[in-house]
């Protein structure tokens, strides 16, 4: 049985060029980049070259890129260290109700420490209101953290508009760009962000590496201590192999690549919608289908069909999809994103699946998936009607 992977929002397969770059690095350049001998200097050069590639991808300077183990570490660093460093200026933070757990859980920790956190609500398309943001901002606000694109429904949040509002405010602006990076053009200066988090494994790079963009002039102590790596900002011997792979993945993505993928993924969404409608399947889209969304993410509600049953049957048929964020896949809690969008009593929360496309997804993959989806939904509904 052939297996078709449609869970790219959780992670992506490494590109062949990335594997080649990492293999070469492991084979030839194995020194510790903090060592002063030739082996160490060679590894340090690889890091510098990679850092320049990463910085250029978001319009940043080399020194503004802090290499991390991924976006979870970057998010925790940005949020917790900003709050603890700037507490004397105020103890109010603004975020949204649909953030990834690596943002939501640090926020909950700060609330336990006495910080006041405002969670901006979202509408049924997964969008915040800028009016709500304006109303929440006050003289005590020290940080605003709003994701660039949602990982469950693909909504693209108004980062540039938020950055413009905060240009004259004391609050630092952080965005989790994990899902958007590699699909949307990102220029940190144009967006007005101070902190930005990214993970390599969402763009066909390796797991276990990412970066935190930290605008020049933003100072806070290391989140991880024990050494002077990363310009004394993050202790621990750097993952040179992973960093080289990350840079190799970034080099494969051009502005045209991003536009082409967005258009392809939007076409896949319409292909699925048209085929479901033609088959007479009752369903609805969670969120909105629009060109400027993160079109690799597609969340669908099938009334009367449980997420678990549908996902399990699709898996048995050879199709990998998910019920939401991979970071909460083992949790019994309902999707906080769908709950924020539709309310805690909505049946959508337990009857929806997330489909997410990748660079290697083909129209044939989508056709085969939709054919299986129609058969499985029809069968499950017939079974429940007995």
The answer to whether 81 and 70 are in contact (CB under 8 A) is no
Q: In whole angstroms, how far apart are CA 88 and each of 92, 142, 186?
A: 11, 9, 32
Tracing tokens 């993945």 back to the chain, one arrives at 249
The two structure tokens encoding residue 291: 């060109």
The answer to whether 351 and 381 are in contact (CB under 8 A) is no
The two structure tokens encoding residue 168: 């004259």
pLDDT of res. 328: 52
Query: Domain map of the chain by residue range?
Result: 4-12+254-385, 16-251
Q: Tell how strand 210-214 and strand 195-199 pair up.
A: antiparallel
CATH value of 16-251 in 2.40.50.100, 3.40.640.10, 3.40.140.10, 3.40.50.300: 3.40.640.10
Name the β-bridge partners of 184: 181
Between CA 329 and CA 291 the distance in angstroms is 28
Between CA 43 and CA 35 the distance in angstroms is 9
Q: Tell how strand 210-214 and strand 65-68 pair up.
A: antiparallel
Q: State the DSSP string of 176-210.
A: E-TTTBTTB---HHHHT-SEEEEEGGGTT--SS-E
The answer to whether 320 and 309 are in contact (CB under 8 A) is no
Q: In tens digits, what is the pLDDT along the chain, a chain of 386 residues?
A: 789 999 999 999 999 999 999 999 999 988 999 999 999 999 999 999 999 999 999 999 999 999 999 999 999 999 999 999 999 999 999 999 999 999 999 999 999 999 999 999 999 999 999 999 999 999 999 999 999 999 999 999 999 999 999 999 999 999 999 999 999 999 999 999 999 999 999 999 999 999 999 999 999 988 889 887 888 889 798 999 999 999 999 999 999 999 999 999 999 999 999 999 999 999 999 999 999 999 999 999 999 999 999 999 999 999 999 986 655 555 557 899 999 999 999 999 999 999 999 999 999 999 999 999 999 999 999 988 76
Q: In whole angstroms, how far apart are CA 319 and each of 23, 59, 171?
A: 30, 38, 44
Could you say which DSSP state residue 330 is in? T
Indicate yes or no: pTM above 0.85.
yes
pLDDT of res. 21: 97
Between CA 141 and CA 133 the distance in angstroms is 11
Between CA 218 and CA 276 the distance in angstroms is 50
Q: In whole angstroms, how far apart are CA 314 and each of 11, 58, 108, 323, 368?
A: 18, 37, 35, 12, 11
pLDDT of res. 237: 86
Give 88's Cβ-side CA count (13 Å radius). Answer: 1
Q: CA-based angle 170:172:173, to the nearest 5?
A: 130
Between CA 244 and CA 14 the distance in angstroms is 13
pLDDT of res. 333: 74
Buried b (16+ CB within 10 A) or exposed e, 72-106: bbbbbbbbbbbbebbeeebbbbbbbbbbbbbbbbb
| Active-site residue list | 327
pLDDT of res. 324: 66
Determine whether domain 4-12+254-385 maps to CATH 3.90.1150.10.
yes
């Amino acid at each position: 049985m052939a297996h078709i992977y449609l869970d790219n929002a959780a992670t992506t397969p490494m590109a062949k060029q990335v594997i080649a770059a990492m293999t070469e690095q492991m084979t030839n350049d194995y020194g510790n980049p903090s060592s002063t001998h030739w082996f160490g200097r060679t590894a340090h050069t690889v890091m510098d070259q990679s850092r320049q590639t990463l910085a250029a991808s978001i319009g940043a300077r080399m020194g503004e890129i802090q290499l991390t183990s991924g976006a979870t570490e970057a998010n925790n660093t940005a949020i917790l260290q900003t709050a603890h460093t700037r507490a004397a200026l105020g103890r109010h933070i603004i975020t949204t109700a649909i953030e990834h757990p690596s943002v939501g859980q640090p926020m909950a920790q700060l609330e336990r420490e006495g910080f006041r956190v405002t969670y901006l609500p979202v509408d049924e398309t997964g969008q915040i209101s800028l009016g709500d943001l304006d109303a929440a901002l006050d003289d005590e606000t020290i940080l605003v953290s709003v994701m660039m694109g949602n990982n469950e429904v693909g909504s693209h949040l108004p980062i540039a508009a938020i950055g413009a509002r905060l240009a004259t405010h004391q609050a630092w602006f952080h965005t989790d760009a994990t899902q958007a990076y590699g699909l949307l053009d990102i220029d940190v200066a144009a967006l007005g962000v101070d902190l930005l988090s990214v993970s390599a494994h969402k763009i066909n790079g390796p797991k276990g590496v990412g970066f935190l963009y930290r605008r020049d002039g933003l100072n806070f102590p290391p989140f991880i201590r024990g050494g002077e790596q990363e310009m004394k900002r993050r202790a621990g011997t750097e993952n040179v192999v992973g960093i080289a792979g990350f840079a190799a993945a970034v080099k494969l993505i051009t502005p045209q690549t991003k536009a082409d993928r967005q258009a392809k993924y939007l076409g896949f969404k319409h292909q699925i919608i048209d085929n479901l409608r033609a088959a007479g399947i009752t369903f609805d889209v969670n969120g909105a289908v629009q060109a400027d969304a993160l079109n690799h993410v597609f969340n669908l509600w099938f009334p009367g069909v449980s997420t678990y049953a549908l996902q399990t049957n699709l898996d048995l048929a050879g199709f990998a999809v998910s019920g939401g964020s991979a970071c909460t896949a083992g949790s019994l809690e309902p999707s906080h994103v769908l709950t924020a969008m539709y309310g805690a009593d909505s049946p959508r929360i337990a009857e929806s699946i997330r489909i997410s496309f990748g660079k290697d997804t083909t129209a044939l993959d989508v056709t085969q998936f939709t054919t299986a989806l129609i058969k499985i939904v029809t069968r499950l509904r017939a079974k429940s009607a007995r």
